[in-house]
Amino acid sequence: MIQTIDLKKGMVFKRGEKLLRVLQINHHKPGKGNTLMQMDIQDIRSGSIVHTTMRPSEKVEQVDVDKRNAQYLYDEGDSSVFMDLENYDQYSLAHSQISEERKYLVENMNVTLEFVNGEIVGIELPATVTLEVTDTQPEIKGATIDGGGKPATTNTGLVVNVPAFIKNGDKIIVNTADGAYKSRA
């Protein structure tokens, strides 16, 4: 058992009979009273996301997560198929279980599969991915004066704010933690 104050983004814990993953966590200190933990948590089995508030001293059961190297193969219906790189077994994950991660998946990409008691519960992405820009506005002369960027849609459907010099067909490196443009590939 651990206290909720020790939970971090990506950790899996058990509350009742549900396996839950921390998607986002914020410590909130109201003007009066004790600190509260505001969290977005995802039910691993159903994929539903809930915003909840817990006291830092509440106890939850931490779950041991086994990790295995795998490769993303393809989408099949409403699930994504991955292959374990050690024994070549294939695993399917419902799109609802990996809704955020899907925006970064490219065929033949290496990922880490996460298992709890032999059941696949999610994936861990590499720190950065290379994506191709499929739709963005053309560069406008003098656009660099304001220093802002422009939205660009990638081959996975992810929309990233990129510098003005990026064109359709360019390959860019994107940070998977926050979806931010890092550099040109």
Q: Write down the pLDDT at residue 141.
A: 66
The domain defined by 66-124 folds into OB fold (Dihydrolipoamide Acetyltransferase, E2P) (2.40.50)
Non-local CB neighbours of 124 within 8 Å, separated by 6+ positions: 10, 67, 111, 112, 114
Q: Write down the pLDDT at residue 147.
A: 63
Q: Is domain 128-184 given the CATH code 3.90.420.10 in the classification?
A: no
- Asked whether the predicted pLDDT for residue 154 surpasses 90, the reply is yes
The CA distance from 61 to 48, in Å, is 20
The three-state secondary structure class of 101 is: helix
The pLDDT of 69-78, averaged and rounded, is: 93
The dihedrals phi and psi of 95, each to the nearest 5 degrees, come to: -60, -30
What separation in angstroms does the CA of 86 have from each of 78, 83, 124? Answer: 25, 9, 17
Give first-to-last CA distance, the chain, whole Å.
44
Closest CA to 134 of 160, 98, 108, 105: 160
> Which residues belong to CATH 2.30.30.30 in the chain?
2-62
> Which residues belong to CATH 2.40.50.140 in the chain?
66-124, 128-184
Which helix (H) or strand (E) segment holds residue 123: the answer is strand 119-124
Closest CA to 101 of 127, 124, 133, 68: 124
pTM score, whole prediction = 0.76
The CATH number given to 2-62 is: 2.30.30.30
Of all residues in the chain, what percent carry a pLDDT higher than 70? Answer: 95
pLDDT tens-digit readout, 83-94: 999 999 999 988
Do 179 and 158 contact (CB within 8 A), yes or no? yes
